[in-house]
């Protein structure tokens, strides 16, 4: 059995940011290259990042041991959410311009 002093702290946020980056990367690829998804769908799914982070927090809270937040992962999640919001804003601007030109 491990001593509590020997338990390595769990870095919370690493798994959720990894899954979020892969998922959003695949969705943006499907939008831009294969045109299977619309950008509106991808932009509407940004709360999934928060859900994944919350699920990871709940899962890790049941483990014994020390819990540490991965500050880098949290920072990347915030950047990803800002990027998605910015892309949504740009897309809305393009739609308005397209609408006004007709």
Whether 3 is in a domain gets the answer no
Task: Give the count of domains, the chain.
Answer: 1
Whether 4 is in a domain gets the answer no
The residue ranking higher by pLDDT, 36 or 10, is 36
Tokens found for residue 27:
């969705």
Whether 2 is in a domain gets the answer no
Q: Which residues pair with 67 in a beta bridge?
A: 10
Whether 30 is in a domain gets the answer yes
How many helices, marked H, and strands, marked E, lie in the chain?
4, 2
Per-residue pLDDT, 9:
66
Statement: residue 10 has pLDDT above 70: no
Query: pLDDT grade, residue 7 (50/70/90)?
Result: low
Per-residue pLDDT, 65:
60
For residue 94, give the 3-state DSSP assignment. Answer: helix
**Using the 8-state DSSP alphabet, how is residue 10 labeled?**
E
pTM for the model stands at 0.59
Whether 1 is in a domain gets the answer no
Asked if residues 3 and 51 have their Cβ atoms less than 8 Å apart, the reply is: no
Distance CA 30, CA 45 (A): 14
Q: Write the pLDDT tens digit of every residue in 51-66.
A: 887 888 788 777 656 6
């Amino acid at each position: 059995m491990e001593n509590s002093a020997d338990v390595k702290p769990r870095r919370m946020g690493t798994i959720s940011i990894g899954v979020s980056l892969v998922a959003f990367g695949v969705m943006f690829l499907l939008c831009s290259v294969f045109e299977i998804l619309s950008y509106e769908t991808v932009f509407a799914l940004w709360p999934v990042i928060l859900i994944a982070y919350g699920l990871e927090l709940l899962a890790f809270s049941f483990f014994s041991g020390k819990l540490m937040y991965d500050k880098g992962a949290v920072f990347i999640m915030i950047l990803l959410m800002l990027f998605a919001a910015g892309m949504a804003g740009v897309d809305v601007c393009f739609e308005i311009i397209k609408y006004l030109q007709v």
